């Protein structure tokens, strides 16, 4: 399942599927490089916008940087105060 809103692509994911009582047929688990490669033909072209709790944002930043994404294409916004 994905939604295209040029120039954005939104792919909903469910990390804690076991906590959900409703059916889910979208992506599951944490966002990892192989998941991104399913939806993005060249992962080096897009700009990435990561927003959320600090631990999530840091994990995404690390994953993107170790995948070879240019740091100028990574944009971060941490929301503290919840877990």
What pLDDT, in 10s, does the model give residues 12-43?
A: 888 877 777 778 888 988 999 999 999 999 99
Tokens of residue 63, six digits: 């994953």
What pLDDT, in 10s, does the model give residues 35-82?
A: 999 999 999 999 999 999 999 999 999 999 999 999 999 999 999 876
Euclidean distance between CA atoms 44 and 78, whole angstroms:
23
Euclidean distance between CA atoms 46 and 29, whole angstroms:
22
3-state secondary structure of 5: strand
pTM higher than 0.85: no
């Amino acid at each position: 399942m994905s939604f295209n809103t040029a120039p954005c692509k939104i792919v909903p994911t469910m990390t804690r599927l076991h906590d959900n009582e409703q059916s889910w047929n979208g992506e599951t688990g944490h966002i990892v490089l192989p998941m991104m490669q399913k939806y993005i033909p060249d992962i080096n072209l897009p700009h990435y916008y990561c927003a959320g709790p600090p631990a999530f944002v840091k994990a995404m930043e690390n994953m993107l940087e170790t995948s070879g994404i240019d740091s100028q294409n990574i944009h971060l916004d941490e929301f503290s105060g919840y877990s």
